[in-house]
Structure 1
């Protein structure tokens, strides 16, 4: 019995380098629970003075778009956050970003009885230190691909909070930060 165990150990030890090389360079099998990564985009957000305030990423999933961001140097409090219809962020007012992204021509507001713009998103709650980190999921037919129409799209932070029903902007006030959506 001892000889058989020693022979088995010797055979495995001799075969180990060959077995290790066989899998070299090939990635481990994919976890069947992790879906393949979808189309992605990002927006480098700047304030009205052109200073960097952070980055927003967008990732397409089967159910909608996951929008994640980490922003800083913003005024504390609630701020409307929207996707705008033009990929242009010329300060200080960012009016070049156009209106809200609204290809389906719906009324504004998450609480609007006749739907909402594709660009309507929940308010951001900026902490006293001027930072906000968020994960938002949008399921209203918005796709990453749709943001790259002929004139692109932008992510915009407003001065005031969105009331979620006043058309066309939610009474959100001026635009205080903007980032052009770009392919990654």
Structure 2
């Protein structure tokens, strides 16, 4: 009986050691970002998720599964700071100001006439490894240079999520 218990204990220890050794080598292959409505009062209702993964042709793919957005094209960008909190600028409360400045503008986010965004966008200039600890922001208007609306900026920030 003693030999069977010792043998099982040894197997459990070996499996635990091997598991610990391999788990540290895993690389994140995707992020699922929960997106919330934002306003000058702070973070609000859940709007769905955006799944971020490496794109097959290089870069990073953003796959939205969002609802309750205003129809049309929206600015979509990665921001420097992992926060969606409101902040004050010149004494005025601003939605998701704590997210900091835009690290990188993404292609515009398309929202259908029922308020759903499901069309993936690819940012060839980004690497998945550079996104952890950032925030993802959706603006009220398009700010995508390809749309011809870049000079207007993206309008106010309407949604935000933390890339963890």
Is this a same-fold pair by TM over 0.5?
yes
Q: Distance in 2 between matches of 1:70 and 1:169?
A: 28
Residue 66, structure 1, aligned to residue 61, structure 2: yes
Q: Alignment partner of 2:98: what SS?
A: helix
Between Structure 1 and Structure 2, whose CA radius of gyration is higher? 1
Partner of 1:164: 145
Higher strand share: 2
Higher helix share: 2
Partner of 2:128: 144
The one of 92, 95, 98 equivalent to 1:93 is 95
Pair 1:64–1:163, CA change in 2 (3 A): closer
Q: Distance in 2 between matches of 1:59 and 1:45?
A: 16
Residue 46, structure 1, aligned to residue 39, structure 2: no
Partner of 1:176: 158
Gaps of 5+ in 2: 1-26, 87-93
Partner of 2:89: none
Give the 5 Å matches for 1:77-88: 77-88=72-83
8 Å contact 2:77–2:102 — kept in the other structure? yes
Q: Distance in 2 between matches of 1:75 and 1:126?
A: 7
Partner of 1:154: 135
Partner of 1:120: 105
8 Å contact 2:107–2:122 — kept in the other structure? no
Pair 1:169–1:157, CA change in 2 (3 A): farther
Q: Distance in 2 between matches of 1:156 and 1:173?
A: 12
Shift of 1:125: 2.0
Pair 1:76–1:61, CA change in 2 (3 A): closer
Give the total of aligned pairs. Answer: 124
- TM-score scaled by length of structure 2: 0.67
